[in-house]
């Protein structure tokens, strides 16, 4: 069993048994480790302690964050504010492929692809001349399957050429998950996606959800001026082609439940706890300043 599989098993267990508040000894026994080694492994993998993670899984905690999202987040989304807590978040410029680019299917492009390691397991990344075009978390056994990886990238850009360079991708991926440092500027990235006008609107709206916070499908729909389109928002979220860069892991059900995730619910829970811990420790200090200096722009820009 790999470290990722151990932590994923614990997250699945906590998702079902969080009400019982299982202790460190019980969780360590679940994956065959001593409490000391399990605690170190969990913190290294998830960025928070098991106890901190457990608190983030409770329904009450999710509902508190959802209620917060329906006030602060809605205002941030509707006005185009970068939102509170964005100081340490990725700054992603998301561009929609033009009809001509979609028709060409990436003809003439060389997409550099590779698999990198992250706190949430291996991730496959593709970088086109216009920016990141593919980011997908993998199961451990899929990490070395280049044939499947090439096919997944060519599904979106069938006329492109794919070159594999794991070292370059690992170098680029490292910045995504760097520990927050208030003395460093945001990591600025460019990305290009294929999608309908509505899908791209939704994906751009997700970029405005602050790290460590949640927004419901209904909140995102309201921010887009389409209050009856919550179901359509959910469909667009599920087709997000850029894991982590476009933070669909910050969208939850209207009831406050985390809900599903294209790349595994346990990953979504881990991401929520990882971001939430840093928001609690650091983000609140910057909230007012971020809101005051944020640039206003239309949500569909």
Q: What is the C-alpha to C-alpha distance for residues 214 and 32, in angstroms, rounded to an integer? A: 33
Q: Tens digit of pLDDT for each residue in 86-113?
A: 434 568 899 999 999 999 999 999 999 9
Higher pLDDT, 145 or 292: 145
Most confident of the ranges 25-39, 205-219, 250-264, 286-300: 25-39
**280 confidence band (pLDDT: 50, 70, 90):** low
Decide: residue 301, CB within 10 A, 0-12 exposed, 13-18 middle, 19+ buried: exposed
* Beta bridge pairs of residue 124: 115, 136
Task: For residue 85, give the nearest of 301, 275, 271 by alpha carbon.
Answer: 275
Place 296 in a pLDDT band, splitting at 50, 70 and 90: very low
The count of C-alpha atoms lying within 13 angstroms of the C-alpha of 250, restricted to the half-sphere facing its C-beta, is 27
CATH tag, 59-293:
1.10.10.10
Classify residue 123 as exposed, middle or buried by CB count within 10 Å of its CB (0-12, 13-18, 19+).
buried
Largest CA distance in the chain: 58
CA atoms of 189 and 85, how far apart (whole Å): 18
238 Cβ neighbours under 8 A, 6+ residues apart? 248, 262
pLDDT of res. 42: 86
Active centre residues (catalytic): 248
Residue with the larger pLDDT of the pair 140 and 234: 234
Give the domain 3-57 fold: Arc Repressor Mutant, subunit A (1.10.10)
pLDDT at 283: 43
CATH 1.10.10.10 segments of the chain: 59-293
Q: How far apart are CA 301 and CA 298, in angstroms?
A: 5
């Amino acid at each position: 069993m790999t470290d990722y599989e151990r932590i994923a098993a614990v997250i699945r267990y906590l998702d079902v048994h969080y009400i019982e508040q299982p202790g460190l000894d019980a969780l360590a026994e679940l994956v065959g480790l001593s409490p000391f080694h399990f605690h170190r492994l969990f913190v290294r993998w998830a960025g928070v302690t098991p106890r901190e993670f457990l608190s983030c899984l409770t329904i009450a905690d999710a509902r508190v964050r959802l209620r917060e999202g329906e006030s602060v987040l809605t205002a941030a989304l509707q006005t185009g504010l970068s939102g509170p807590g964005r100081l340490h978040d990725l700054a992603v410029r998301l561009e929609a492929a033009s009809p001509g680019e979609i028709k060409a299917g990436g003809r003439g492009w060389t997409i550099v692809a590779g698999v990198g390691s992250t706190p949430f397991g291996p991730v496959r990344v593709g970088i086109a001349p216009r920016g990141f075009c593919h980011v997908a978390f993998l199961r451990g056994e899929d990490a070395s399957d280049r044939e499947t990886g090439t096919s997944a990238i060519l599904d979106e850009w069938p006329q492109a050429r794919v070159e594999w360079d794991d070292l370059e991708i690992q170098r680029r991926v490292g910045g995504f998950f760097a520990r927050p440092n208030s003395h460093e500027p945001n990591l600025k990235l460019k990305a290009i996606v294929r999608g309908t006008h509505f899908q791209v609107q939704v994906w751009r709206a997700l970029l405005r959800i602050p790290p460590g916070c949640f927004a419901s499908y209904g909140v995102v729909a309201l921010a887009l001026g389409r209050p009856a389109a919550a179901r359509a928002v959910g469909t667009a979220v599920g087709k997000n082609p850029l894991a982590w860069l476009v933070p669909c892991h910050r969208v939850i059900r209207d009831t406050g439940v985390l809900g599903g995730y294209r790349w595994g619910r346990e990953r979504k829970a881990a991401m929520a706890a990882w971001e939430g811990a840093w928001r609690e420790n650091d983000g609140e200090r910057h909230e007012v300043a971020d809101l005051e200096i944020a640039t206003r722009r239309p949500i569909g820009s």
